[in-house]
Structure 1
Amino acid sequence: MSTYIIVITLVGLAALSMAWVPALLKRTFVSYPMVFMLVGMLVYLLPFNLPQPDPIWREEYVVRLTELIVIISLMGSGLKIRRKVSWKNWQVPIRLISITMLLCIASLALLGWGILGLTAAGAILLGAVLAPTDPVLAEQVQVGPPDEKEEDDVRFSLTAEAGLNDGMAFPFTWLAVVIAVAASAEGTSWLGEWLWRDVLYRVVAGFGMGYLLGRILAYLIFQLPRKSKFPKAEDAFLALSATLVSYGLTELVHGYGFIAVFVTAMTLSAYEPDDKYHTEMHDFVTQVEQILMVILLLLFGGSLIQGLLNYLTWSGALVGLLFLFVIRPLAGLMGMIGVKMPIHEKMAISFFGIRGIGSFFYLSFALDKINFVDAEELWSVVGFIVMVSIIIHGFTATKAMGYLDRRRKTKLIPKQEDRIK
């Protein structure tokens, strides 16, 4: 039997099931990333001659596949953001991508160096790849489509954080790379170049290109057809095209394309916010994202069976659990000190820093640039943390969000005695 035919059949069945699985699982406490990760594990236990996912993933194809999924997810996340940019509206996400993320990177780097015995570059890389909240696997805790008007603080904060920190973690990934390069080339001066190029220029270029391209696209889509006979855009695939153009042009000028894609989407969503075309674009990119995500989750499940965790030690597992259950929640709460928000909402934001596809991208990206001596252990620790995050956050997200929604509605409904008065 042809391996190719088996593969496309399995992928087709998995993608087909996405038409019903998310809706069916809304009635349960199980998330669909959990289901497809488990399916991937089961499929690779069957006696099919399937392409074997490299236990220590081959960086080149992982970089490209994860890169594509993340940028498509960032476009979808940006299109559903509806809050105007101001310090009052955005202070929680800004605190999460600055204070919280830096605390997570520093804590993991110290644990990686002190407990796991990683090199300085490897320890920094561990912190950098695991600090960002993932935009791909966090749908359960994100805001709804553009036509869904309600946008609570918890979902907004996690959506905005996932959109922004996938680009803001890039300077620290590059820091790990340049330190590894400097270690193999004595006498290399790297700090000034890193600060100027990887921290300042690339971040500014990402925001600038994203805003510029967003304005241009908004003009072409919404304004120009009203002012002239320029044809009105009606095909939702334009969102995917905009994703690739924004990412590609920004990378060509050596900016951070992740930031640019999210800012492009946000800029687009700010124009004609009630236009149904925003929802159509969002729905299209979300469907493409889900198909690609299913493929990667199947491969991830298969890699767990094939030996991705072979280099995981007890200390590595302990560091992973410590990060998910202690470091990220505490760092999140510390980042929100002084913010006027109910403590149960702060705790939800701090806990649901879901790790996933973005971590795979950053790790494979760095390993594609230079060989890290800790590569095998890094893959195993990151794979373990993503696996546990999918399971723990998958089991708890629906119940937690439902509880927060009930608390919020109860607070909005006046008590009976207050209504009588």
Structure 2
Amino acid sequence: MTELLSEWAPDPYILILTGAGLLIALVAWLPLALKRLPLSLPIVCIGIGAGVFLLPQVPLDPLPVDYPEITERFTELIVIISLMGAGLKIDRVFGWRRWSVTWRLIAITMPLSILAITGLASWALGLPLAIALLLGASLAPTDPVLAADVQVGPPKTGEEDEVRFGLTSEAGLNDGAAFPFVHLAILLGASAATGEPWLGEWLTYNVAWEIAGGILGGWLIGRAFGWLTFHVPAETKLAKTGDGLIALSATFISYGLSEMVHVYGFLAVFVTALTIRHTHRDHEFQREMHALTDQIERLVMMALLLLFGGALVTGLLASVTWVDAVVAAVVLLVIRPLAGWIGLIGYPAGGGEKMTLAFFGIRGVGSLYYLSYGINHMDIPVPERLWGLVGLIVLFSILLHGLTVTPVMRWLDRESGRDPDAPAEPTGEQEGSVLDPR
């Protein structure tokens, strides 16, 4: 009997192929199946991952603390693909007034969140300032990967109300805006050990140069790709290929070149996407590029969440205490909503829209990336503790926001006079919102 069972035991390679096929099928089918349910794709993925890694036949423990470089690079890849997709699907033309909700969330809400989380981590957890700041910078940005259910729809579908636009544009820009604070934490940690000055380097290099360089570099690469894709005077222009892989090419080139000259690649990728989108806003190829980035993003996101589910059941939360649980609840239920509400004071939106914008500051893959980057670049005595806390907050956020997003967004649509069950129809250029007319 044992020999018979051993003969039927599948080859690991065949198991991987089968699992990959099931994963791809779930990527395509689950969003449709969950559309009307108070349940999100990330919740299902984490549950599947937890179940898989509980099997005795799967001996691997996918703990990020054991694979620091892989964790940093894998989360980095997912974020840049997500940022390209976010930029391509924004219909609203860039402008200071038209994007005023974005500037409020970036310039007011995020710094307040970083300050509050840093103070809470230092006071409640007894962490040194540099490590507390790393936590604040990691947990403040709204995630561009896991926030798909509160973001705008594909290009030219008209699914761009103020809430969806605000959360999409915030998620696109705040990853680049949070990076200076991650670097500040690294500099503070190094200064505490060596006594070297840090303020001048941080202001001139990490803030001024890396932000300005990221914006300029992203714009130049976006202009180049926009011209080659839509306006080159030949039948060989890239739009003629009909191949959305062009968006992936622009993502990797923008990020790679930006990192080579030491500017913020996350910011560059999002600006590149916005610039390509602006080059020919009504071209159908915009939808082709977004569709491909969206499919790849969901595939790699689901793979990561399967591993995250496995990490949860193999010891990621082993170091978590009841104090950590309280801190996690305060971050999600007090700090982000309150900072979001303060940032929107005086903004011409209804109370329901403001509450939704303030509440849905989803924490996810971006937080995992920033934490792994910080741990890999500074001396942290017990990284397991930070991974446990951030893992708990990401889990809480996925559950809290995943279970509430469908009913809240459907309610908001009905309050705004939209039918949440109506199919999206392609529209012409979006000229801004009623709250922010052009």
TM over 0.5: yes
Structure 2 residues without counterparts, runs of 5 or longer: 1-9, 420-438
Amino acid at match of 1:373: P
Specify the alignment match of 2:301 in structure 1. Answer: 293
Q: How many angstroms apart in 1 are the aligned matches of 2:319 and 2:157?
A: 45
Amino acid at match of 1:122: I
Deviation per CA, 1:236-266: give whole Å up to 9, x if none.
Answer: 1010010000000011111100000000000
Deviation per CA, 1:269-313: give whole Å up to 9, x if none.
Answer: 112211110000000011111110111000000000011111111
Shift of 1:85: 1.7
Amino acid at match of 1:89: R
TM-score normalized by the length of structure 1: 0.94
Specify the alignment match of 1:404 in structure 2. Answer: 412
Amino acid at match of 2:109: T
Shift of 1:97: 1.1
Specify the alignment match of 2:96 in structure 1. Answer: 87
Contact 1:122 1:374 in 2 (8 A): no
Deviation per CA, 1:124-172: give whole Å up to 9, x if none.
Answer: 0010000000010010000000031241000000000000001110000
Shift of 1:50: 4.3
Matches for 1:360-399 after TM superposition, within 5 Å: 360-399=368-407
Q: How many angstroms apart in 2 are the aligned matches of 1:326 and 1:165?
A: 20
Contact 2:91 2:156 in 1 (8 A): no
Specify the alignment match of 1:216 in structure 2. Answer: 224
Residue of 147, 151, 170 corresponding to 2:160: 151
Residue of 338, 341, 351 corresponding to 2:346: 338
Q: Does 2:113 correspond to 1:104?
A: yes
Specify the alignment match of 1:419 in structure 2. Answer: none
Amino acid at match of 1:60: E
Matches for 1:11-30 after TM superposition, within 5 Å: 11-30=20-39
What SS does the aligned partner of 2:197 have? coil
Q: How many angstroms apart in 2 are the aligned matches of 1:317 and 1:373?
A: 21
Shift of 1:229: 4.5
Contact 2:210 2:264 in 1 (8 A): yes
Residue of 356, 359, 362 corresponding to 1:354: 362
Amino acid at match of 1:93: T
Contact 1:222 1:272 in 2 (8 A): yes
Contact 1:128 1:170 in 2 (8 A): yes
Q: How many angstroms apart in 2 are the aligned matches of 1:284 and 1:245?
A: 17
Contact 2:151 2:167 in 1 (8 A): yes
Q: How many residues align?
A: 408
Contact 1:3 1:49 in 2 (8 A): no
Q: How many angstroms apart in 2 are the aligned matches of 1:182 and 1:333?
A: 35
Q: Does 2:143 correspond to 1:134?
A: yes
Is 318-327 or 53-62 further displaced after alignment? 53-62
Amino acid at match of 1:99: I
Specify the alignment match of 2:250 in structure 1. Answer: 242
Q: Does 2:184 correspond to 1:175?
A: yes
Shift of 1:356: 0.3
Deviation per CA, 1:339-381: give whole Å up to 9, x if none.
Answer: 1110110000000010000000001011111221242211111
Shift of 1:11: 3.4
Specify the alignment match of 2:428 in structure 1. Answer: none
What SS does the aligned partner of 1:85 have? coil
Specify the alignment match of 2:80 in structure 1. Answer: 71
Deviation per CA, 1:106-134: give whole Å up to 9, x if none.
Answer: 00100111110111111000100000000
Specify the alignment match of 1:279 in structure 2. Answer: 287
Amino acid at match of 2:55: L
Specify the alignment match of 1:414 in structure 2. Answer: none
Q: How many angstroms apart in 1 are the aligned matches of 2:390 and 2:150?
A: 22
Amino acid at match of 1:363: L
Q: How many angstroms apart in 2 are the aligned matches of 1:94 and 1:410?
A: 26
Q: How many angstroms apart in 2 are the aligned matches of 1:326 and 1:144?
A: 29
Contact 1:22 1:32 in 2 (8 A): yes
Q: How many angstroms apart in 2 are the aligned matches of 1:39 and 1:230?
A: 45
Specify the alignment match of 1:267 in structure 2. Answer: 275
Q: Please, what is the CA RMSD of the aligned residues?
A: 1.4
What SS does the aligned partner of 1:372 have? coil
Q: How many angstroms apart in 1 are the aligned matches of 2:345 and 2:66?
A: 39
Change (3 A) 1:143 1:343: same
Q: How many angstroms apart in 1 are the aligned matches of 2:347 and 2:362?
A: 22
Specify the alignment match of 2:434 in structure 1. Answer: none
Specify the alignment match of 2:52 in structure 1. Answer: 43
Contact 2:230 2:237 in 1 (8 A): no
Amino acid at match of 1:76: G
Q: Does 2:318 correspond to 1:310?
A: yes
Q: Which runs of 4+ in 1 moved over 6 A?
A: none
Q: How many angstroms apart in 2 are the aligned matches of 1:50 and 1:277?
A: 45
Specify the alignment match of 2:127 in structure 1. Answer: 118
Amino acid at match of 1:254: H
Amino acid at match of 2:61: Q
Q: How many angstroms apart in 1 are the aligned matches of 2:372 and 2:64?
A: 13
Structure 1 residues without counterparts, runs of 5 or longer: 412-421
Deviation per CA, 1:213-247: give whole Å up to 9, x if none.
Answer: 111111111111xx345444321101001000000
Contact 1:74 1:261 in 2 (8 A): yes
TM-score normalized by the length of structure 2: 0.91
Shift of 1:16: 1.7
